[in-house]
Amino acid sequence: MKTIAVMSPKGGIGKTTTADSIAYILGEEQGKRVLILDGDPQGDTSKTFGCHETAETGMSRLLECHACTGGECHTSELIWTTAYPHIDMIPANGYLVRTDLNLMISQEGNQVTRLKEALAEVAGEYDYCICDCGRLFDMVVVNILVASELVIAPIKVGGYENEAIKSLCEQVEDLRQINPDLRVKGILTMRQKNKTSLEFEEYLHTASGIEMFKAPIRRSIMAEKATIAMAAVPAFARRGIVAQDYRDIVRELLEDMEG
Ligand X SMILES: Nc1ncnc2c1ncn2[C@@H]1O[C@H](COP(=O)(O)OP(=O)(O)OP(=O)(O)O)[C@@H](O)[C@H]1O
Q: Interface with ligand X includes 231 (CB under 6 A)?
A: no
Which range touches ligand X (CB under 6 A), out of 38-46, 53-61, 65-73, 204-212? 38-46
Please report, for residues 77, 178, 212, the alpha-carbon distance to residue 182 in angstroms, rounded to integers and kept in the order given. 28, 9, 15
DSSP 26: I
CB nearer to Mg ion: give 27 or 134: 134
Exactly one of 16, 57, 99, 197 binds ligand X (CB under 6 A); that residue is 16
Q: Is 61 in the site for ligand X (CB under 6 A)?
A: no
Task: Figure out which of the listed residues 66, 86, 219, 247 binds ligand X, where binding follows CB under 6 A.
Answer: 219
State which amino acid sits at residue 18.
T
d(CA 243, CA 43): 22
35 sits in the region (left: phi over 0; alpha: psi -120 to 50; else beta) called: beta
Report if residue 224 touches ligand X, rule: CB under 6 A. yes
* Cβ 213 vs Cβ 251: under 8 Å: no
Shortest approach of ligand X to residue 246 CB, angstroms? 9
Of the candidates 172, 242, 249, 253, which one interacts with ligand X according to CB under 6 A? 242
Q: Does 188 bind ligand X (CB under 6 A)?
A: no
Question: How far, in Å, are 2, 52, 103, 206, 217 from residue 109 at the CA level?
Answer: 24, 31, 11, 42, 40
Using rule CB under 6 A, residue 190 touches ligand X:
yes
Q: What's the CA angle centered on 148, arms 248 and 81, to 5 degrees? A: 75
**Residue 7 sits in the site that holds ligand X (CB under 6 A):** no
Residues of the shown chain interacting with ligand X in the complex, contacts defined by CB under 6 A = 11-17, 40, 42, 44, 135, 189-190, 217, 219-220, 223-224, 227, 242
